[in-house]
Amino acid sequence: MRNRASNTLSKGKIRQSWSKYNLYNMSRFRSPATMNRTFFQQKWSAKAVSRAYHGEQVREGQWKRMFSRRIKSVIPMNTVDLAADDGSLVSAGRGSGLTKEEKSRYPTRQTPYTNMTFAPLERRLDVAIFRAMFASSARQARQFVIHGAVTVNGQKMRHPSYLLNPGDLFQVEPDRVMFATGTPKNKFERRESRLAQKPAEEAEAETEKAEAEEPEELKSPKETLKALMARAKSVMSNDKDTLPAKRKQELRGFQKAVRRVLSRSGSESSNILTQSLEVQFSHLTELLKAKRETKSPKQDKKQDNKAAKPETDDSLAFEADEPAASDKLSAAFEQVTLGKDVDVSELSNEEFDTLKRALTQMRDNPIDNTKPYATPWQPRDYMSAFAFIPRYLEVNQNICAAVYLRHPVARPGSAEVPTPFGESIATPAYGWYLRRRW
């Protein structure tokens, strides 16, 4: 199927996509005019606008067959109210002057039924993958399905139009998800990965030359550290005005730590990071446990001293230390990355935590040129503006799997079908698809 779902600026259609073009279109979207237009025209334009978002990959006839005028809705019940009366109070005394003008205890909110017009499309596998945030657009989700990267209940499913049943578990290959949601490589990184691939190809051809130093040199941890620092620097210099201050701080700390390691480990023979990271990590955690037990009574004093220390959560910030407090920490970091044992007695608990977190992140989010996305992984730009997970899905992001719990429902005040359009478009669009036109 040809992809007609381009994000053109001239048409300004809203699509199921995380692209920045789409974001801009969404920001400047205005509901189609209703003044001086016939009812038919209003319904037509409402339908056209909403179909550009909801299942534009589905043919119109196909969607018409899926459309159902019955809309699923629920009412949250209060068991205290149910226990208090059996409903006869509501029906008793009508018309006999017994009713008082009483405000209801709960504000009655209208149920936005017509916002659920396109609920049947949310059952489709490709749409559900997009809603679970495993793909950056419904089209990409569709491609994942067709290319065989998706399983439903453990079996490979190659039909994007498969309608999920309540309780179905679908799973996408984590690498695809990381590619779809991560920052793309820039041209230097692409070149790096090409170079990394090249020696491997040569090695296949000529087995004698395979033992040359090249691959080791390219993958040498020093290089990767340098590249990392360059990345941090470029991020800092380019996005100075957009980055939040806290993150800037973290990046700066990270740069410093890397520079220190680079300056101290002068010899070429250093075999850091790459081979024994796992071993290092488990070793360090054991040390940490031992230290916890010995130092637990003194903990309070230590924490008072280091209370001002910032927390780090960023994926880039391997090491976010304040220069005053953490010479020891950076020394320890260096020791660890060099593959040596660490002298733990000099570090405080918090420094230990920082070290551990840094190593965890290094292990979970390594630099790997073979990946199709920029490493270490970072969320792609403008992803957060589209980040939400509807309640009819239960998602486990670690394994990129999700369960389709039930069909989406409307409830007083909210509808579960994610749609960028309000009542003024949803209602005429619903009217368009009713067989009996109104």
Partner 1 sequence: MPPRVQTGRVSNTLLPYLTSTSSTTSSLPSSSSQCLRQFSATTASQTKLRRQMFEWLSTAGAGLKNHVPGETNYLSRLKQGGPDDSNRPFPNNPNFVSESILSEDLREEIYKRVVTKKQSLRAVSVELGIDMKRIAAVVRLVELEKRQRSQGKPLALPYARAVHEMVPVTPLADRGERQTYHESINDLPAHPLTGSQIFYPVPESRSFNRVEAGRVFSGAPAMTNEEAAEIQHPYDLAQKVIEDPKSIGWIGKGEKARQILQPADARIPHPHMIGLERDRLAHPNERLTVQRRHSDRLARQEALEQEARQRAQEHREASQKTVSPADSRFDYRIQDTKFTKETTGANGRAPWAVGRRYGVPHEDRTRGTVKIPTRVDA
Site residues (CB under 8 A) for partner 1, limited to 93-112: 93, 96, 112
Region near partner 1 per CB under 8 A, out of 151-159, 219-227, 252-260, 269-277: 151-159
Least distance (Å) between residue 406 CB and partner 1: 6
Contact (Cβ atoms closer than 8 angstroms) between residue 140 and residue 131: no
Q: In this chain, which of 146, 325, 331, 389 binds partner 1, going by CB under 8 A?
A: 389
Instruction: Tell me whether residue 146 or residue 331 sits nearer to partner 1 (CB atom).
Output: 146
Instruction: Tell me whether residue 124 or residue 260 sits nearer to partner 1 (CB atom).
Output: 124
Least distance (Å) between residue 377 CB and partner 1: 4
Q: Which two tokens stand for residue 369?
A: 């040129």
Query: Which of the residues 315 through 374 are near partner 1 (CB under 8 A)?
Result: 315, 361, 364-365
Least distance (Å) between residue 265 CB and partner 1: 26
Query: Which of the residues 70 through 89 are near partner 1 (CB under 8 A)?
Result: 70, 72-80, 82-84, 86-88
Q: Which two tokens stand for residue 435?
A: 């067989």
Least distance (Å) between residue 205 CB and partner 1: 29
- The tokens 């409830």 sit on which residue? 411
**Helix crossing, 174-181 with 138-146: angle to 10°?**
150
Contact (Cβ atoms closer than 8 angstroms) between residue 68 and residue 118: no
SS3 (DSSP) at 169: strand
Least distance (Å) between residue 149 CB and partner 1: 13
Contact (Cβ atoms closer than 8 angstroms) between residue 316 and residue 182: no
Q: Is the peptide bond before 174 cis (omega within 30 degrees of 0)?
A: no
CA dist., res. 224 & res. 369, Å (int): 10
Contact (Cβ atoms closer than 8 angstroms) between residue 57 and residue 138: yes
C-alpha 235: how far from chain center: 21
Pairing of strands 410-411, 414-415: antiparallel
CA dist., res. 246 & res. 392, Å (int): 35
Instruction: Tell me whether residue 243 or residue 288 sits nearer to partner 1 (CB atom).
Output: 243
Binding characters for partner 1, 251-290, by CB under 8 A (x = yes):
----------------------------------------
Binding characters for partner 1, 10-39, by CB under 8 A (x = yes):
x---------xx-xx-xxxx-x--------
Q: In this chain, which of 36, 242, 263, 269 binds partner 1, going by CB under 8 A?
A: 242
Query: Which of the residues 390 through 419 are near partner 1 (CB under 8 A)?
Result: 390-391, 394-403, 405-406, 409, 411, 413-415, 417-419
What value does the CA radius of gyration of the chain take, rounded to a whole number of Å? 29
* Nearest Cα to Cα of residue 77 among 408, 393, 405, 411: 411
End-to-end CA distance of the chain: 34
CA dist., res. 287 & res. 289, Å (int): 5
Instruction: Tell me whether residue 95 or residue 266 sits nearer to partner 1 (CB atom).
Output: 95
Q: Quick check: 225 binds partner 1 (CB under 8 A)?
A: no
Binding characters for partner 1, 158-187, by CB under 8 A (x = yes):
-x-xxx-xxxxx-x--xx-xx--xxxxxxx
